[in-house]
């Protein structure tokens, strides 16, 4: 009998499959399809200090082997997430969740981190550093090693749970960012966030998205995500959650071989609400194909 359990530091998961933030709402919406407790965990929708309506529409565009989104971090804000969304999820999901937070200043990150890390349901904070730093001209926190480190240090000071930093792939050197957040105290890393892309309507000659550009995700980005997980695994000693274009149990095996301890499934949830469950069901057979008895045995195999 193969063992599909996974570990993120001291946290043991029944399996390595986690729906990615932004693709699964606050989780309870999917309880109509299957028992959510079959999942390893859930990365809930990104939370900001204040409510956000998001970007103007249209903010979704289809692409070959993927999709573009420019949703703009739409969420009800920290207070409602704690007092409304998490209680709803608790009724249908008994495990701890990964709480994704975003901010436009260090202060916003720390306020969200401090409040959410106090919630019994939260097992890990996932810090999205792809947001523009409005205090310093709008450059993304995640594109500069020192800015990424400063967010990490600030969140670590106030968090009661492990802090995983979600890295943007829109950089020339992903390893330098990963090393910076590790040195700043991150307990783990999640990568990758979406790549930047756009589509143009040839009938009008104008961008399809109202925001012109958006985050590109889906199977087409998988090789990029896999490469970055592989590179980062060789550079850091902390756990990695691999995300980006995963569409099958075989893709999960590749991510684990590249060095991920667990994975997040993103756009595939939008195509098939049962995607995560199908992958969990197929994992034992895929492990057997890989001649591995467990997820732990498979981890980092590509580096051996």
Q: Looking at residue 276, which CATH number applies to its domain?
A: 3.20.20.70
256 within domain boundaries? yes
pLDDT for res 130: 85
16-53 burial: b if 16+ Cβ within 10 Å, else e: bbbbbbbbbbbbbebeeeeebeebbbbbbbbbbbeebe
Any domain includes 95: yes
Residue stretches of the chain with pLDDT short of 70: 132-139
In a domain, 283, yes or no: yes
- 83 burial type by CB count under 10 A (0-12 exposed, 13-18 middle, 19+ buried): exposed
Residue ranges making up the domain that contains 97: 6-54+73-198+215-303
How many domains is the chain built from? Answer: 1
Q: Are strands 60-63 and 262-265 parallel, antiparallel or unpaired?
A: unpaired
Cα–Cα distance for residue pair 117/158, rounded to 1 Å: 8
Instruction: Flag whether 1 is in a domain.
Output: no
Active site residues: 131
**In a domain? residue 64:** no
Contact assessment for residue 132 and residue 140, using Cβ atoms and an 8 Å cutoff? yes
Peptide bond into 192 cis (omega under 30): yes
Q: Would residue 60 count as lying in a domain?
A: no
In a domain, 66, yes or no: no
In contact, 68 and 215? CB cutoff 8 Å = yes
Residue 10 lies in a domain: yes
Give the pLDDT of residue 10: 95
User: Which tokens hold the place of 210?
Assistant: 């109202």
Instruction: Please tell me the predicted confidence (pLDDT) of residue 136.
Output: 58
Q: Alpha-carbon distance 100 to 91, whole Å? A: 20
| Three-state SS sequence of the chain | CCECCEEECCEEECCCEEECCCCCCCCHHHHHCCCHHHCCCCEEEEECCCCECCCCCCCEEEECCEEEECCCCCECCHHHHHHHHHHHHHCCCCCCEEEEECCCCHHHHHHHHHHHHCCCCEEEEEEECCCECHHHCCCEHHHCHHHHHHHHHHHHHHCCCCEEEECCCCCCCHHHHHHHHHHCCCCEEEECCCEEECCEECCCCEECCCCCCEEEECHHHHHHHHHHHHHHHHHCCCCEEEECCCCCHHHHHHHHHHCCCEEEECCHHHHCCCHHHHHHHHHHHHHHHCCCCEHHHHCCHHHC
CA 276, CA 15: separation in Å to the nearest integer?
Answer: 11
Q: Which residues contact 18 (CB under 8 A, 6 or more apart)?
A: 39, 40, 41, 42, 43, 98, 241, 262, 263, 264, 265
């Amino acid at each position: 009998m193969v063992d599909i359990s996974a570990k993120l530091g001291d946290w043991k998961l029944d399996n390595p499959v986690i729906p990615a933030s932004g693709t699964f709402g606050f989780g309870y919406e999917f309880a109509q399809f299957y028992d959510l407790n079959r999942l390893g965990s859930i990365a809930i929708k990104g939370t900001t200090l204040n409510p956000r309506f998001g970007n103007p529409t249209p903010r979704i565009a289809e692409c070959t082997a993927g999709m573009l989104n420019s949703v703009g971090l739409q969420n009800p804000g920290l207070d409602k997430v704690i007092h409304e969304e998490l209680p709803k999820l608790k009724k249908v999901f008994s495990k701890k969740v990964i709480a994704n937070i975003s901010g436009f200043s260090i202060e916003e990150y720390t306020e969200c981190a401090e409040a959410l890390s106090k919630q019994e349901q939260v097992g890990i904070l996932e810090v999205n550093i792809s947001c523009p730093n409005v205090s310093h001209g709008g450059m993304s926190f995640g594109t500069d090693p020192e800015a990424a480190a400063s967010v990490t240090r600030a969140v670590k000071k106030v968090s009661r749970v492990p802090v995983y930093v979600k890295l943007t792939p829109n950089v020339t050197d992903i390893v330098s960012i990963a090393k910076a957040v590790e040195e700043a105290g991150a307990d783990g890393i999640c990568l990758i966030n979406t790549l930047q892309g756009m589509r143009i309507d040839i009938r009008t000659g104008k961008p399809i998205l109202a925001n012109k550009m958006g985050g590109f995700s889906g199977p087409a980005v998988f090789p990029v995500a896999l490469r970055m997980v592989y590179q980062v695994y060789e550079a850091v000693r902390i756990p990695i959650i691999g995300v980006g274009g995963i569409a099958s149990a075989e893709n999960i095996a590749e991510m684990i071989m590249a060095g991920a301890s667990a994975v997040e499934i993103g756009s595939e949830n939008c195509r098939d609400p049962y995607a995560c469950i199908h992958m969990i069901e197929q994992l034992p057979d895929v492990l057997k194909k890989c001649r591995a008895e467990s997820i732990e045995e498979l981890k980092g195999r590509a580096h051996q």
